[in-house]
Amino acid sequence: MLRRGATGVLGTLLVWEVVARFDLLPRDALPPASSTIARAAELVVDTTFLGNVGATLWASLVGYLLALVVALPLGMLLGLSDRLYLVSSTVIELLRPLPPVGLVPLLVLVAGQGLEMKAAVVALGCVWPLLINTIHGVHATDSTARATARSFGWSRRQVAIRVVWPSAIPSVLTGVRITVSVALILCVGAEFIGGSTAGLGSWLLQQSMLPGGIESVCAGVVIAGSLGLLINGAVSALETRFAAWARREEA
Partner 1 sequence: MSPALLEVTDLRHSYQTRQGEHTVLDGLTFSVERGEFVSIVGPSGCGKTTLLRSLSGLLRPSGGTVALGGTVIDGVPQGLAMVFQDYRGSLFPWRRVGENVEFPLLGSVPKSERRRRTEESLEAVGLAAAADRYPWQLSGGMQQRVAIARALAMRPELLLMDEPFASVDAQTRSDLEDLLLRVREQFDMTILFVTHDVDESVYLSTRVLSLSKAPTVQTADVTVPLAFPRDQITTREEGAFVTTRSEVARLIRQAGPGGLAA
Interaction between residue 169 and partner 1 (CB under 8 A): yes
Among 38, 66, 92, 246, binds partner 1 (CB under 8 A): 246
Q: Count of residues binding partner 1 (CB under 8 A)?
A: 20
**Closest to partner 1 by CB, 96 or 156:** 156
For 106, the enclosing helix (H) or strand (E) is helix 104-111
Among 83, 157, 241, 248, binds partner 1 (CB under 8 A): 248
Cα diameter, the chain: 74
CB within 8 Å of 88: residues ≥ 6 apart: 78, 135
**Closest to partner 1 by CB, 166 or 195:** 166
Among 12, 148, 208, 226, binds partner 1 (CB under 8 A): 148
Going from the C-alpha of 211 to that of each of 24, 28, 29, 214, 235, the distances in angstroms are 21, 9, 12, 8, 39
Q: How far apart are CA 45 and CA 202, in angstroms?
A: 19
- Please, which of residues 37-76 interact with partner 1 by CB under 8 A? none
**Closest separation in Å from C-beta 91 to partner 1:** 25
Give yes or no for a contact between 101 and 120, defined as CB atoms under 8 angstroms apart. no
**Closest to partner 1 by CB, 58 or 242:** 242
CB within 8 Å of 85: residues ≥ 6 apart: 78, 79, 135, 139
Site string for partner 1, 191-230 (x = CB under 8 A): ----------------------------------------
Going from the C-alpha of 106 to that of each of 60, 97, 121, the distances in angstroms are 19, 17, 11
Stretch that binds partner 1, among 78-86, 127-135, 150-158, 200-208 (CB under 8 A): 150-158
Site string for partner 1, 123-142 (x = CB under 8 A): -------------------x
CA angle, residues 90, 76, 62, in degrees to nearest 5: 95
**Closest to partner 1 by CB, 47 or 151:** 151
Interaction between residue 147 and partner 1 (CB under 8 A): yes
Q: How far apart are CA 65 and CA 12, in angstroms?
A: 34
Sites of contact with partner 1 (CB under 8 A): 142-145, 147-148, 150-153, 158, 162-163, 166-167, 169, 245-246, 248-249
